[in-house]
Amino acid sequence: MWFGAAMKQAKTFNDRELRAAFACVAARRHGVRDRAIVAVSFYGGLRAHEIASLTLGAVRGTDGAIVREFLLSPSETKGKQGRKIFLSEKLRKEIAYFLSRSPKTDPSEPLFKTQKGNRFTANAMCHLFREIYKEAGIRGASSHSGRRTFITNAARLVFKAGGSLRDVQQLAGHRSIEQTQAYIDGSARAKRRLIELI
């Protein structure tokens, strides 16, 4: 790639592709773990290195329940800007199921471990995503696809939820709305519906 060329954006998944990714991980050796990792990417909007840095204590409260929100520290995020992560009921159930099948007690323990029992590195986490998407037959996908899909879906639903693009920007942890807008994929179907509403 020559300097100045635009970097290709990660693929945004449709519902069929996301179902294919979940079906693929179900057949994998570490399927319960891999399903939770994919869920955190698509339903939480976290980057691969942020997922790799998660600890048990970040997502589980002292009462043992999965929290509704937690903070990523500046050292865990891109741009060294901490942010609050909100967990939907769907994502909380995915994490709870994973933890019920993989008991952990130490809050400082990594939430996700490699098959050798080590903490994931950012590169190992990116490799895992590539492997899953390749096995699922999804072309153009990368570890960033979940995050891009999350941001695109949030942008499509934010007004229905009574919010604004500023809310999407804050969920994404971007410094500007322009940065967030670069993640949002357009939809011909949405444009057709939109012009009928004008």
Residue 123 CB contacts under 8 Å (≥ 6 apart), including other chains: none
CATH of 15-142, one of 1.10.10.60, 1.10.443.10, 3.40.190.10, 1.10.274.10: 1.10.443.10
Cα separation of 7 and 4, whole Å?
A: 9
Give the pLDDT confidence score for residue 194 in this predicted structure.
Answer: 66
pLDDT for the residue 198? 62
C-alpha triplet 127, 148, 37: angle, nearest 5°:
45
Cβ atoms of 54 and 38 within 8 Å: the answer is no
Sign, CA dihedral 104-105-106-111, equals positive
Cα(48)–Cα(45) distance, integer angstroms: 10
**pLDDT value of residue 96:** 97
What global pTM score does this model have? 0.88
| Domain positions in the chain | 15-142, 148-197
| Amino acid 76: pLDDT | 82
Q: What is the CA radius of gyration of the chain?
A: 17
- For the stretch 157-194, pLDDT in tens is 888 888 888 889 989 888 888 988 888 888 777 777 76
One-letter amino acid of 45:
G
Three-class DSSP category at 139: coil
**Regions in the chain scoring below 50 on pLDDT:** 1-7
- Residue 22 CB neighbour total at 10 angstroms: 18
